[in-house]
Structure 1
Amino acid sequence: MAGETIITVVGNLTRDPELRTVGNGSTVVNFTIASSTRTFNRNTNQWDDGDTLFLNCSAWDSARTSMATNIANSLSKGMRVIAQGRLTQRSYQAQDGSQRSVVELRVDEIGPALSRATAQVTRQTSSGFNGGQQGGGYGNNGGGYQGGAGYSGGGFNGGNGGYQGGASAPAPQAPSAPVSDPWSNDSGSSNAFGSFGTSDFGGDSDEPEF
């Protein structure tokens, strides 16, 4: 969306992500990232931490992704992460009745920083690709990518219609050159390129051919 402020922040989680369901049934996760600047102190030959930015973050589950749930199941306090999202400002009423405003990061993408850690990624597949119903989808029995009659004779994994199946497609035949085609002659023919030597271009016949 035009006019939004997109930022990328690298820092550590100050607490475990908090997953909750709001009044309309949507699922949201809230957490805080602490991002500190570091400067090298030449007197001590060490890195000194500077000012720290504490940035409140939120992410939501949607019809297309389970980002909030994935964050709650994957990240925990102290982990170093890389997050990208949109800065948003919202107002709320505090317990004392006063109106307050807060700026937070609406996270679009987030993951662990791998500079000093390792991670194992488990990919999630949606129901549209797994093909839960007979006759449609990615891994079903009736049609789709995994089938029986298909491209090259062996089945991709599946049932009756798919990408690699029982009936193989014939291999394409290279077209033959017409009889009158001068390029169809053998390399030994006087009209072929393979017979040219340096003598054909005015050079010494003892010189090696091109």
Structure 2
Amino acid sequence: MQNIVILAGHVGATPEARTTQGGTKITHFSLATSRPKRDSDGKVIKDRDGYRVEDTEWHRITCFNGVGKTVEDYVTKGMKVMVRGRIHYTSWTDQDDIKRYGTEIIADEVTFLTRAKAASGDQGGNDSSVDDDEIPF
């Protein structure tokens, strides 16, 4: 069985990156996905102005190493991206000894659906899709 997730949405904030003591690059960002809200008959609900009402969900995306570096360098708030990865569930005990739970998407690939920002010193020719297996080391 496979744990595969594909999400397409808007980046909620500038990605945050850090490097572990072991040298692993970890980059986090939030991704908003939306779908139309429906009534009990399955019809799309519209507001007074005739626009459809949407439900928005926020997802925490985590990228490692090459994918994380590329996301850090090129992704900005508001960009449309597609993420392919897997769901990861975590649990921990906080400082007040309360059990906490979290869910994140571990990204194997991030595809830019809108133009990426230019990195400093970039000479062009950017690939719009980054796969962890394709990153030169």
Give your verdict on TM over 0.5.
yes
CA distance in 2, matches of 1:44, 1:77: 28
**Correspondence 1:46-195 to 2 at 5 A:** 46-49=51-54, 51-61=55-65, 66-113=66-113, 117-118=114-115, 121-123=125-127, 126=136
Question: Are the counterparts in 2 of residues 15 and 77 from structure 1 also a CA contact under 8 Å?
Answer: yes
Following superposition, the deviation at residue 40 of structure 1 comes to 6.1
Paired position in structure 1 for 2:3: 5
SS of the residue aligned with 2:77? coil
CA distance in 2, matches of 1:31, 1:125: 20
Q: In structure 1, which of residues 25, 28, 34 is the aligned counterpart of residue 26 of structure 2? A: 28
CA distance in 2, matches of 1:125, 1:35: 27
Letter in 2 for 1:53: E
Question: Are the counterparts in 2 of residues 37 and 52 from structure 1 also a CA contact under 8 Å?
Answer: yes
CA distance in 1, matches of 2:74, 2:82: 13
Question: Are the counterparts in 1 of residues 62 and 104 from structure 2 also a CA contact under 8 Å?
Answer: yes
Question: Are the counterparts in 1 of residues 17 and 25 from structure 2 also a CA contact under 8 Å?
Answer: yes
Following superposition, the deviation at residue 23 of structure 1 comes to 3.2
RMSD (Å) for aligned C-alpha atoms: 2.5
Question: Are the counterparts in 1 of residues 92 and 101 from structure 2 also a CA contact under 8 Å?
Answer: yes
Letter in 2 for 1:47: R
Following superposition, the deviation at residue 76 of structure 1 comes to 1.0
CA distance in 2, matches of 1:77, 1:101: 26
Letter in 1 for 2:82: I
CA distance in 1, matches of 2:100, 2:61: 17
Following superposition, the deviation at residue 44 of structure 1 comes to 3.8
Q: Give unpaired runs (5+ residues) of structure 1.
A: 128-210
Query: Aligned in 2, Cα 1:94/1:13: closer, same or farther, shift over 3 Å?
Result: farther
Which protein is bigger by CA-based radius of gyration?
A: 1
Letter in 2 for 1:22: T
Letter in 2 for 1:98: I
The alignment's TM-score, normalised by the length of structure 1, stands at: 0.49
Q: Give unpaired runs (5+ residues) of structure 2.
A: 37-43, 117-123, 128-133
Query: Aligned in 2, Cα 1:125/1:42: closer, same or farther, shift over 3 Å?
Result: closer
Following superposition, the deviation at residue 92 of structure 1 comes to 2.7
Determine which structure has the larger strand proportion and give its number: 2
Question: Are the counterparts in 2 of residues 5 and 86 from structure 1 also a CA contact under 8 Å?
Answer: yes
SS of the residue aligned with 1:70? helix
